[in-house]
Amino acid sequence: MEPSIITVLNDQANHELLSAHCYEAMAYWCQSRDYTGFAKFFFAQAAEEREHGARFFKHLLDRGVQPKVGSIEAPRGEFTSLNELACYAQKLEQQNSSNIRQCYSLALEAKDFDSQPMLMWFIGEQVEEEAWAAKMITLVARAECAGSIYALDRHIVKEFEDG
């Protein structure tokens, strides 16, 4: 593998772990405000992001490269509202999408045919991730009163189960 590909794939694996860390902090923020449905959703997102990081690391291992797990900065843990939190989640997913597209572009340039299928899977995955983030912002914005937010919190996990 070309060193440039190794670097971007390893960096993206670590970025996935950072995203997991961020989602876990968001889940705890939600829990502390009794948004248990949102907390459950974000804990699940954290687990998914850890799996994504592991997938990048495994790809490197399968190709004979020792992955480098980096340090993770402290995630943002304070938000003024559920809307601000949802917007932050969207920014996380948009950054992930941008990073993965950069990895894919580099893999194309380097003719790293072995990395391209994995990265295409992630590109498809990011379409779904950005879709739920945009939908969450819309749903939170529509829930203008406490009763609506309570109902949304109770059903948020189900809202995203079916795609």
- pLDDT tens for residues 27-80? 999 999 999 999 999 999 999 999 999 999 999 999 999 999 999 999 999 999
Instruction: Please enumerate in sequence order all residues whose Cβ is within 8 A of that of 75, keeping only pairs 6 or more positions apart, or say none.
Output: 18, 21, 22, 24, 25, 26
When pLDDT is cut at 50, 70 and 90, the band that residue 151 belongs to is confident
Start-end of H helices in 33-163: 36-62, 82-109, 116-142, 146-161
Question: Is 51 annotated as a binding-site member?
Answer: no
Question: Is 144 annotated as a binding-site member?
Answer: no
Question: Is 16 annotated as a binding-site member?
Answer: yes
Between the CA atoms of 138, 142, 148 and 153, what dihedral angle is there, to the nearest 10 degrees?
10
Question: Is 109 annotated as a binding-site member?
Answer: no
How far is residue 98 from each of residues 81, 83, 91, 92, 134, measured CA to CA in Å?
A: 26, 23, 10, 10, 16
Between the CA atoms of 85, 91, 93 and 96, what dihedral angle is there, to the nearest 10 degrees?
-140
Task: Sketch out the chain's domains with CATH numbers.
Answer: 3-67+79-161 (1.20.1260.10)
Chain mean position to CA 148: 26
| Average of per-residue pLDDT across 102-123 | 96
Question: Is 161 annotated as a binding-site member?
Answer: no
Main-chain dihedrals φ then ψ at residue 2, nearest 5 degrees: -70, 140
